[in-house]
Chain A
């Protein structure tokens, strides 16, 4: 008698990052972090300088996760958080919860975001095929 075996598919963060990063010319950076601030994988466009140093990146991830955790305190009223935007003068930060992790994307500021989000969501929806 055979036993049923549950198979849990884990996203390939490396391929996902690469695909998202190359899906639009305005995207600067993509990365996935887990809820313990660990960067699972990240990629940045080759020709760009980082806006933050390593210490500031760690701080930025902490702030992003803090905000994400606090946003979840309203889930029971507002439903699941799907997307956030923070537009600075020099960059726009986008976060999208994905399979218990947080997808971090940075783009050039003041661009049309809808097409980018559509592309990202399409890639995330099809993640099992990647």
Chain B
């Protein structure tokens, strides 16, 4: 394990926070969408847990994470320590790992120019914040759509950053930077969400066709989604993955886990439950 410092903490709500870890040495090369294993001492042992990195691989100053403090049925050990930690506390970390990374080439070796649709449920948004910043920083010309699902409006972490990236796309034009962001709130009837005017329901409802035959996602991009023109990346609870595949399987989409004999696929996913 390497050593670093918790250099920034920001609580978005009691159980949701943004954390930065600045390595003592340097941020190593990694791929957008990978995770980092963090470690803190507890009872003379080091407790480890992996968290998806939200910062861009081009950011060589620190790693950033958005972390949910799940407390039921039991509070997570490392996450509890993290939420008790102070800026300046030391922390250990292991090298980045994980396979939910951006596909740049097709099985035949050609460049993958398909539209990228990222679907994140809750803190499953994390790898796609890294995707978005990386694709922006590397001047990627593909169309990118980030969809985020949450129960409450104050769980829409990175709304400001992602809205900014979308506004930049509108200002520069899609030939320069082609990025869209939208979110869904699953408990719109609750008083706390009374100001919400966007998509309602679980995040996979972006894929459910309306009466006009187009899904909210297709209305957002202004065209039909096919397995030839779009690759999906999904991260969240297993229920979110299953919900997405319920819409995509009938359209002939296959996951990387079940890829065809020629190596082709249209969905990559990572579940955390």
**Cross-chain contact A36 with B187 (CB below 8 angstroms):** yes
Q: Counting CB contacts under 8 A, is A76 at the interface?
A: yes
Residues of chain A contacted by B194 (CB below 8 angstroms): 58
**Cross-chain contact A76 with B190 (CB below 8 angstroms):** no
Residues of chain B contacted by A37 (CB below 8 angstroms): 187, 189-191
**Cross-chain contact B190 with A36 (CB below 8 angstroms):** yes
Q: Counting CB contacts under 8 A, is B1 at the interface?
A: no
Interface size class of B (residues with CB under 8 A): 10 to 19
**Cross-chain contact B73 with A75 (CB below 8 angstroms):** yes
Residues of chain B contacted by A58 (CB below 8 angstroms): 191, 194
Q: Counting CB contacts under 8 A, is B45 at the interface?
A: no
Q: Counting CB contacts under 8 A, is B42 at the interface?
A: no
Residues of chain A contacted by B187 (CB below 8 angstroms): 36-37
Complex Cα gap A76–B187 (Å):
27
Residues of chain B contacted by A75 (CB below 8 angstroms): 72-73
**Cross-chain contact A73 with B75 (CB below 8 angstroms):** yes
What is the distance, in angstroms, from A68's C-beta to the closest C-beta of chain B?
12
What is the distance, in angstroms, from B17's C-beta to the closest C-beta of chain A?
16
Query: With contacts A73-B72, A73-B75, A76-B74 known, is A38 near B192, CB below 8 A?
Result: no
Q: Counting CB contacts under 8 A, is A40 at the interface?
A: no
Q: Give the residue name and chain of the A residue nearest to B188 (CB).
A: A36
Q: Give the residue name and chain of the A residue nearest to B70 (CB).
A: A73
**Cross-chain contact B72 with A72 (CB below 8 angstroms):** yes
Most chain B beta carbons < 10 A, residue from A38, A58, A73: A73
- Select B71's contact among A38, A59, A61, A73, beta carbons within 8 Å: A73
Residues of chain A contacted by B72 (CB below 8 angstroms): 72-73, 75-76
Residues of chain B contacted by A76 (CB below 8 angstroms): 72-75
Query: With contacts A72-B72, A73-B71, A76-B74 known, is A62 near B189, CB below 8 A?
Result: no
**Cross-chain contact A59 with B191 (CB below 8 angstroms):** yes
Instruction: Tell me the chain B residues, 59-101 only, with Cβ under 8 Å from chain A.
Output: 71-75
**Cross-chain contact B73 with A36 (CB below 8 angstroms):** no
Complex Cα gap A75–B71 (Å):
10
What is the distance, in angstroms, from A52's C-beta to the closest C-beta of chain B?
12
Q: Give the residue name and chain of the A residue nearest to B73 (CB).
A: A76
Q: Give the residue name and chain of the B residue nearest to A60 (CB).
A: B191
What is the distance, in angstroms, from B190's C-beta to the closest C-beta of chain A?
4
Residues of chain A contacted by B189 (CB below 8 angstroms): 36-38
What is the distance, in angstroms, from B83's C-beta to the closest C-beta of chain A?
12
Complex Cα gap A75–B75 (Å):
11
Q: Give the residue name and chain of the B residue nearest to A76 (CB).
A: B74
Complex Cα gap A70–B194 (Å):
21
Instruction: Tell me the chain B residues, 9-40 only, with Cβ under 8 Å from chain A.
Output: 14
**Cross-chain contact A62 with B190 (CB below 8 angstroms):** yes
Residues of chain B contacted by A61 (CB below 8 angstroms): 191
**Cross-chain contact A62 with B74 (CB below 8 angstroms):** no
Residues of chain B contacted by A36 (CB below 8 angstroms): 187, 189-190
Binary per-residue interface labels of chain A (70-98) against chain B in the complex, 1 for a CB within 8 Å, 0 otherwise: 10110110000000000000000000000
Most chain A beta carbons < 10 A, residue from B14, B71, B191, B194: B191
Q: Give the residue name and chain of the A residue nearest to B190 (CB).
A: A37
Residues of chain B contacted by A62 (CB below 8 angstroms): 190-192
What is the distance, in angstroms, from B141's C-beta to the closest C-beta of chain A?
42
Q: Give the residue name and chain of the B residue nearest to A57 (CB).
A: B191
Residues of chain A contacted by B71 (CB below 8 angstroms): 73
Instruction: Tell me the chain A residues, 3-56 only, with Cβ under 8 Å from chain B.
Output: 36-38
Partner-B contacts on A (CB < 8 A):
36-38, 58-59, 61-62, 70, 72-73, 75-76
Contact sample, A vs B, 11 pairs, CB 8 Å cutoff: A36-B187, A36-B190, A37-B190, A58-B194, A61-B191, A73-B71, A73-B72, A75-B72, A76-B72, A76-B73, A76-B75
The 3 A-B residue pairs whose C-beta atoms are closest, nearest first, are A58-B191, A62-B191, A73-B71
